[in-house]
Structures are given as structure tokens and as C-alpha cells.
Chains A and B, each alone.
Chain A
Amino acid sequence: MMNPQMVMYEEELAQLQATTDKLLRDSRSQTILLVDKNGQMIVTSGGSTDLDTTSLSSLVAGNVAATGGIAQVIREDEFTGQFHEGKDISVHMTLVARRIILVVLFGKETTHGLVRLRVRKAIGELTSVFEALERKAAEQSPQQNVFAEITDDDIDNLFND
């Protein structure tokens, strides 16, 4: 398979959360999301509770996939950044480690320039966490994985409603 399974552990999640929380403050933005290219949300910072992050993550991934498709058609390697300008809220998206999308939602309290600057700084930190995560997942022995112990009954029970 081209895409290895993605795993997330407590230690790395805490590091990612700390980085995005700092980015949220430094860039004076409203919400930050880390989403994998398949639309799975990994981390969120800030944001109101009524923000539908699941839908947002799926749409962001679709958007990045579509732009990636455009890049292929015009023989560009990849568009690493995207910007959507809104009346009240704008969205800045950047690719991290080629498989993660950093999404920053910001309003009038800040500027696109500041967001871009702070994002650039945060990307280095995020990239090293994701690289460490990949190494860790590759080293993990199968026995450590809890899913090896799933029984048929466990699976059947999921559907008994």
C-alpha cells in the first residue's frame, strides 16, 4: 500500500497541541486544525464548540486533494499553500510533511502576513513531530497493537443496536 497506517500517541499529540496552541496565540487567529490528507482531524486549537470540525476536516481534505489534482494537470509538484479570503473569516492552509494539512482560521484581529509568518515558524516543529511519529509507528511491534486481540464477538457487538 502506498499509505502506511497513521497512528497517534499521547506524547506526540501533546507536542502537536502545544505547537498549535502557541501558533494560535502568536498569530492571533481564531481556530487551528491539523487534518490528515484523508480528512481525519488530528488536533484542534481554539474555536467555538459549535464549529463542525468533522465536516470542516473532510472539506479541507477534499479541497487540498482537488488542488493537488490541478497541480498534477499543470505539471506542478504540489501547491503547498492555499488562502481563502472571506468577509469576516479567512482560511490559510499549508501542507506539513506532505501528508498533513495545517488549517488556520483567522479574522480581523490579525493579518494574513502575520499568519503566514507564524505558520512558517510552526511548520518546522510540526514536521519533526510527524517524522518522529512515522518512525515510532514503523518500529512498533505487532504484539503491542491492541487490535490483534479483537474477537468476532467484539465486532458483532458493535452492530447490536
Chain B
Amino acid sequence: MSFINYSAREINCKLVYYGPGLCGKTTNLQFIYTKTKEDAKGKMISLATETERTLFFDFLPLNLGSIRGFKTRFHLYTVPGQVFYDASRKLILKGVDGVCFVADSQEERMEANLESLDNLRYNLQEQGYDLDQLPYVIQYNKRDLPNAMPIPELSAALNPNKVPEYEAAAVDGTGVFETLKALAKQVLNELRKGTT
């Protein structure tokens, strides 16, 4: 649910990075944080366990600049990927404007990817959303690893509707901004479509 402030001339949108545990959601946000100019970002917050696993969420506010005189702000969130934090994941999806599903390209994580994707669809439904109606991109992360599965196989299993998909190695930043831009564009397009 974007928030349009006509008085302050601002648009605020919420993007959520979803995916199985250790797929690289937090790493995506960390890379975006380190590569964004000081005046275009706020503080990154990570509510994590002592072992640096996401406990509740990571949060990164970004100011992308102005569009037709309106400042565009994107609030980026990650969910905790571990299966047993499902209640927290549901909460973070509330008010979402766009979703990035971060898949782990490693063969042994395929089942976890599928389970997380099912969980995403189900949790969105519970909040009254339909994944097929939302701005949505998929990122195949960890392409740098030797056991990464071929893209056609990943795509066939995880992306039957052929939403925009990107290869990434979030650890060195490959594909991170491409994914973010694609999602942000979809969200802004949706804002436009919703008004015509």
C-alpha cells in the first residue's frame, strides 16, 4: 500500500525481499546500502539474532529522486527466511507494494526455494493479496557458486508465469541494482495504471 502525501509531495512504497533462509536477502540490502549515496539513504536496521540471522526484518529507506515533483521513497524490507519465523513473515508482508523473491541457485536449496515460494503465495493470500497481481520479480542469487543450477531449470520450476528474472551474486553486487530497479519500475507503473 503506497502512501501518497500530496502535502509533502512524496510517494512512499514498500518493497519486500522474500526467500528461503540464507538465500541472500540481507546481503542484497547490505550491498544497496553500501553503494547508495549518503543523501539518498537512511539508516539500515537489522533485527537479527546474535549469529546474524534475520530475526524479524531488515529495513532500508531509499530516496530515489523526484518524479513529476514528487519525491519517491522506497522502504526496503527483508523477511526472516527460516521456516519457523512464519508469523513474522506474514506481518512484514502487510502493506507490500512489490515483492522480490530471492532464490538460492544451489541445487541442494531447490526444495527450500519451492517451499518458500509456496509460503509467499499463501501468506500474501492471507493478507488479501494475489502474487500474480502484484509487482513481482525473481532473482536467482549465488550464480558465482560452482553448484549453481542452470537458469532454464530454475526458471521452469520457480517462474512459470515468466515474471522478470535476474541473475545475481549479491555478495559482490552482481545483479542487485538491476533487480531493485526492475521492481521499483513495476511498482511505479502500477501506481500509474491504478489511476487510469
Contacts and interface: CB of A to CB of B under 8 A. Distances in A.
Nearest to A7: B4
Contact of B67 (A36, A69, A145, A155): A155
A40 B65 contact: no
Contacts of A5: 1-4, 194
Interface in B6-25: 6-8, 11-12, 14
A62 B56 contact: yes
B5 A158 contact: no
A52 B68 contact: no
Contact of A13 (B2, B7, B189, B194): B7
A65 B4 contact: no
B68 A65 contact: no
Interface string A37-54: 111101000000000101
B188 A8 contact: no
Interface in A7-28: 7-10, 13-14
Contacts of A148: 192, 195-196
A40 B95 CA distance: 10
B63 to A, nearest CB: 10
Contacts of A155: 67, 185, 188-189
B163 interface: no
B58 to A, nearest CB: 10
A69 B127 CA distance: 13
B101 interface: no
Interface residues of B, number: 47
Contact of A55 (B45, B65, B184, B194): B45
Contacts of A58: 45, 59, 61, 75
B160 interface: no
B57 interface: yes
A74 interface: no
Given A2-B127, A40-B3, A158 B65 contact: yes
B47 interface: yes
A139 interface: no
Given A2-B128, A40-B12, A159-B64, A54 B43 contact: yes
Contact of A147 (B88, B92, B129, B192): B192
B95 to A, nearest CB: 3
B188 A66 contact: no
A38 B68 CA distance: 25
A66 B56 contact: yes
Given A7-B6, A68-B91, A149 B68 contact: yes
Nearest to B187: A155
Interface of B: 1-8, 11-12, 14, 42-43, 45, 47, 56-57, 59, 61, 64-65, 67-70, 72, 75, 87-88, 90-92, 94-95, 127-129, 181, 184-185, 188-189, 191-192, 194-196
Given A5-B1, A142-B195, A156-B185, 18 more contacts: A5-B2, A8-B4, A8-B7, A13-B7, A39-B59, A52-B42, A58-B75, A62-B47, A62-B57, A69-B88, A145-B195, A147-B4, A150-B67, A150-B188, A150-B191, A154-B67, A158-B72, A159-B185
12 contacts: A1-B129, A40-B75, A54-B42, A55-B45, A55-B59, A58-B61, A65-B91, A69-B88, A142-B196, A150-B188, A155-B189, A158-B188
